[in-house]
Amino acid sequence: MRLINMRPARPGAVLLAAVPFVVLLVAYSIASDMRLAANPQDKLLPAPATIAETAQRLFTVPDKRSKEILLWQDTAASLARLLGGVGISAALSLIFGLAIGLLPYARATLSRFVAVLSMVPPLALLPILFIVFGLGELSKVVLIVIGITPFMTRDLAQRVMDIPKEQIVKAQTLGASSWVIAARVALPQVLPRLISNVRLSLGSAWLFLIAAEAVASNVGLGYRIFLVRRYLAMDVILTYVIWITLLAFVIDWLLKTVSRRAFPWMEAGL
């Protein structure tokens, strides 16, 4: 039988999916053990048990000075920036994507501009953003917006143009105005795509967020990681990394679930 036709059965598939995680965990434990055996003071690869302890402390014990649990503060600050940036980007890309996809005038005016914009390396703009928007929340949100909006806009515009011309003509024969075509024909058909764009962009959004927080901030997940780096607090860094990964995963899962619930027509053909 050909390799391409060999499929894992259900319980086997779950096990297979778990394998890389287990391998990673075991490899880390062994490496950490080896380093700690050689030098019990080693900070580079703390034992999993140490990380768990640290994690528990970070999640539950308030800071001595501020009496707040820093991890939750950081999480709230970072999520607000991330969701703000991604939300604004989604709204902008939807408006401009629909305009570029549907209106020849908007396409002639904007499509080149957006294409060029998407080539600008956003992180290179970070100093400018700090100068223009200050070191506060705004510059971080703007970095995310600048970083992911052009790509999402281009993709959505393309999706709008991919809607069969027949449908657009049909809507016109039913008396639909440009506005109704945008709102009732194009918009509902690209919404699922918008959600998948957001899912795809979240990785970059996190990257931009953590970069901006690392450079200038006084609260936030990225800020904390780069702060404790000075003390080589690997256990804290790893806890934060795992926590960020978990947050990213949950957000992605939520979006996927929403998409599947909200757009039953996408799957009607399956």
Partner 1 sequence: MSFVSVRNVWQRYGDRSILERVSVTAEEGEFVSIVGASGCGKSTFLRMLLAEERPYKGEISIEGGATAVEPNRERGVVFQKYSVFPHLTVRDNLMAAEGFQTRFGRLRGAARKEAAARADQMLTRIGLSHVAQQFPASLSGGMQQRLAIGQALTAKPRILLLDEPFGALDPGTRLQMHDFLMELRDETNMTVFMVTHDLEEAFKLGDRVLVFDKPRWDPQDPNVIGATITYDFDARHGGMPHQDILDHFPSLAAG
Where on the chain is the footprint of partner 1 (CB under 8 A)? 164, 166-167, 169-177, 179-180, 183-185, 188-189, 263-265, 268-269
Least distance in Å: CB of 102 to partner 1? 14
Please say which residue, 76 or 174, places its beta carbon nearer to partner 1. Answer: 174
Least distance in Å: CB of 108 to partner 1? 19
Least distance in Å: CB of 191 to partner 1? 9
Please say which residue, 65 or 165, places its beta carbon nearer to partner 1. Answer: 165
Least distance in Å: CB of 104 to partner 1? 13
Please say which residue, 11 or 175, places its beta carbon nearer to partner 1. Answer: 175
Using alpha carbons only, what angle is made at residue 114 by residues 102 and 107, rounded to the nearest 5 degrees? 25
Least distance in Å: CB of 161 to partner 1? 14
Under a CB-based contact definition with an 8 Å cutoff, are residues 196 and 124 in contact? no
Please say which residue, 81 or 193, places its beta carbon nearer to partner 1. Answer: 193
DSSP state of 232: T
Instruction: From residue 99, give the alpha-carbon distance in Å to each of 91, 150, 156, 222.
Output: 12, 14, 10, 36
Please say which residue, 40 or 264, places its beta carbon nearer to partner 1. Answer: 264
Name residues whose C-beta falls within 8 Å of residue 243's C-beta, 6 or more positions apart in sequence: 55, 71, 75, 221
Least distance in Å: CB of 181 to partner 1? 8
Burial class of 149 by CB neighbour count within 10 A (0 to 12, 13 to 18, 19+): buried
Please choose, from the candidates 226, 220, 227, 233, the residue with its C-alpha nearest in 3D space to the C-alpha of residue 50.
233
Q: Whole-angstrom Cα distance, residue 226 to residue 232? A: 10
Q: Whole-angstrom Cα distance, residue 16 to residue 269? A: 30
Please say which residue, 144 or 190, places its beta carbon nearer to partner 1. Answer: 190
Please say which residue, 86 or 98, places its beta carbon nearer to partner 1. Answer: 98
Least distance in Å: CB of 216 to partner 1? 44
Cα torsion through 254, 118, 93, 201, rounded to 10: 0
Please say which residue, 12 or 188, places its beta carbon nearer to partner 1. Answer: 188
Please choose, from the candidates 219, 259, 199, 205, the residue with its C-alpha nearest in 3D space to the C-alpha of residue 70.
219
Q: Whole-angstrom Cα distance, residue 191 to residue 199? A: 13
Under a CB-based contact definition with an 8 Å cutoff, are residues 21 and 202 in contact? no
Quick one: tokens of 86?
């991604």
Least distance in Å: CB of 71 to partner 1? 42
